[in-house]
Amino acid sequence: MRNPRTSWAVGTVALLSLSLSACGGSGFDDSGTDSPQSSGPASIKVLIASSGDAETKAVTAAAGAWAAKSGNKATVTQAQDISQQLGQGFASNNPPDVFYVDAKFFATYASTGSLEPYGDSFPGKSDFYPALRQAFTYDGKFYCVPKDFSTLGLQINTAAWSKAGLTDADIPTTWQQLAAVAKKLTTGKQVGLALGDTRDRIGAFMVQAGGWVTNKDATKVTADSPENLKALQYVRSLLADGSAKYPKQLDSGWSGEAFGKQKAAMTIEGNWIAGAMKNDYPDVEYRTVPLPAGPAGKGTLAFTQCWGIAAKSEHKAAALDFVKAMTAKDAELSFAETLGVMPSRQSARADYVARSPQDKAFIDGAAYAQAPVNVPKIDQVLTDFDTGLQSLPGADPKQILARLQKNAQAVVGR
């Protein structure tokens, strides 16, 4: 579960507006891109899946700055259910011009021809992290540029850590060390590790073991592998000995809540946890460190969205210019400051770390992060996989993976 991000700051919107108003043209050849009906200033529709008022205000302010500079107009709408609203728009041939696309659903939209594949011609495309570009590549085409991203890290309650007699030298860098400190931190009132019960958390262990649901280009299902089995067996061992528990076992809706309530001394969450801790548990002191490496090395998960452009938009040149403004380095840094996300541009890394040194572990994870499964219409298969994971430690990991292999193969086989 992703918690609402950090609170709104008016000053940051002003900064974002100024930085965007300084942006120039799109860098694209506008001739012939828009339809004949769209000559002159364009009016584009922008649909976002906002995390709250802060994000809606930030994007609206940025859109206003772009409009003032470009002479175009952008109407930003906060979606109630973006998947449903996009589906209706595509079906009626009246989609928004620009919209958020979550990596989990990207391949489905790309496979149906709903997205304009503008990524390969986007200026400076190589500046975006490779893992994020891969997340929005389908059938060999880079469709849309990532607007920001998040990764997972290990959060440690510093008071519980010290009370257990642990020091910086004990910060776990391997699975064995994580298991040892989780056991040492487990008391009658506090479990060592609160762990989310879906692939969006447990999947990190699969990556660390050298496995994943598919191969890199998502053409082959690799779920039922020795690497993935090793990962699930490790997770089962943590759950079985009581040093790790799922949120529901700790009367919590997500791991961050269990951690904030100090029912767990450690958890594995993304950089969005900062806003939740600041707002709901301001007295709990903690630090974030990189996830421990597994048998195959370091591994984490990336969560990202891109700026999608509708294949049937009548204002593609204006839409491209809008996306360029939204993903300029200064704009991404301003969004990061306001919303608690991380810039998708590699060139923004140093500035981001200087501003947010506490998040260095998260952004460093971009070098070895795995993006969501990039296969069209695989949602139900992955939801079923989550159900299997939630049955641990009682269930057999091998059977869980065999079921995932069979179900995923049926989808990829289409």
**Are the C-beta atoms of residues 202 and 393 closer than 8 Å to each other?**
no
Closest to 350 measured CA to CA, from 324, 329, 369: 329
> Which residues, in sequence order, are CB contacts of 278 under 8 Å at separation 6+?
6, 7
Q: Which pLDDT belongs to residue 98?
A: 98
Helices (H) and strands (E) in the chain, counts: 17, 12
- Res 50: pLDDT: 86
CA atoms within 13 A on the CB side of 321: 29
The half-sphere exposure of 347 on its side-chain side, counting CA atoms within 13 A, is 11
What pLDDT does 39 receive? Answer: 53
Sign of CA pseudo-dihedral 345, 347, 351, 354: positive
Distance between CA atoms of residues 158 and 179, nearest Å: 18
Instruction: Say how far apart CA 136 and CA 142 lie, in whole Å.
Output: 6
Span 360-412, pLDDT tens digits: 999 999 999 999 999 999 999 999 999 999 999 999 999 999 999 999 999 99
Q: Tell me how far apart the alpha carbons of residues 322 and 318 are, in angstroms, rounded to a whole number.
A: 6
Q: Do the Cβ atoms of 346 and 128 come closer than 8 Å?
A: yes
Query: Which DSSP string corresponds to 280-322?
Result: H-TT--EEEEPPPBBTTB--EEEEEEEEEEBTT-S-HHHHHHH
Give residue 384's pLDDT.
98
Which residues lie below 8 Å from residue 189, measured CB to CB, with a gap of 6+? 263
Per-residue confidence (pLDDT) for residue 213, from 0 to 100: 98
Residue 29, judged by CB atoms within 10 A of its CB (0-12, 13-18, 19+), counts as: exposed
For the chain, list the domains and their CATH numbers: 10-149+304-370 (3.40.190.10), 151-301+373-412 (3.40.190.10)
- CA 287 remoteness from chain centre: 20
pLDDT value of position 40: 65
Q: Mapping DSSP to helix (H, G, I), strand (E, B) and coil, where does residue 36 land?
A: helix
Whole-model pTM?
0.88
Flag residues of the chain having pLDDT under 50: 1-38
